[in-house]
Amino acid sequence: MVRMIPLCQLKGGCMGCCGRNYVSKEEVKVAILQNTKDFDSINPQTKAKLIKFRDRAQPQELRNGVCFNIIEQKGRLFCPLHPAVNKGVDLRINHCDVDFQCRTAKLFITWDKNRQERFIDYIQKKELDNLDYSLEMDNSHLLDSFEAEEKEKGSNSNL
Ligand code: SF4
Ligand code: SF4
């Protein structure tokens, strides 16, 4: 969850880049549930308490392959350290690579508006919950299937 391009917010929020070597959706779900419990028990209402939440684990530590900071509230996945939910203050600095973009995001920002909208529409039509979506962004499956479909349409229009 880096620079909040539209892709990072679809399907209830993406956490594809908030971890690595995911073993299974179930294990990711368990980790996020535990993170959310930790968050609720600290109930961070101040910057100091948010830092307390963040610093309960080292930056390189992962829980089932998942960052200790990603949580779920009201069905949405998000990072409480992100400036977008933290009055512009970025508490992720020195904790994760705030400039990281997944392969899909890197390509997406180079596309023209029409192609971007087609991709967003393609994603919205898929029945994916936030974890399926995150894992498919992480492994680039959505990008690859979209590009294959676009290629197919292109070749059919040349017939
Ligand atoms: S995996 Fe890609 S789309 Fe998902 S939050 Fe990270 S950069 Fe955004
Ligand atoms: S600190 Fe936040 S944005 Fe960075 S990897 Fe962890 S959950 Fe994701």
**For the chain, how many helices (H) and strands (E)?**
6, 4
Give per-residue pLDDT as tens, 98-130: 999 999 999 999 999 999 999 999 999 999 999
Per-residue pLDDT tens for 43-69?
999 999 999 999 999 998 999 999 999
Which residue, by CA, sits nearest to atom 5 of ligand 2? 18
Give the bridge partners for 78, in sequence order.
71
- CB-based contact 142:108 (threshold 8 Å): no
Do 63 and 33 meet the contact criterion of CB atoms below 8 Å apart? no
- Find the domain containing 102 and state its range: 6-153
Q: What's the domain count of the chain?
A: 1
Structure tokens at 146: 């979209």
Q: Taking CA 102 as the corner, what is the angle to CA 100 and CA 103, rounded to the nearest 5 degrees?
A: 130
Is residue 159 in a domain?
no
- Nearest listed ligand to the Cα of residue 17: 1
Mutate to test the pocket of ligand 2, among 3, 18, 36, 94 (most ligand atoms within 8 A of CB): 18
How far, in Å, is the centroid of ligand 1 from the Cα of 78? Answer: 11
- Could you tell me if the CB of 77 is within 6 A of ligand 1? no
Instruction: Look at residue 158 and tell me if it is in a domain.
Output: no
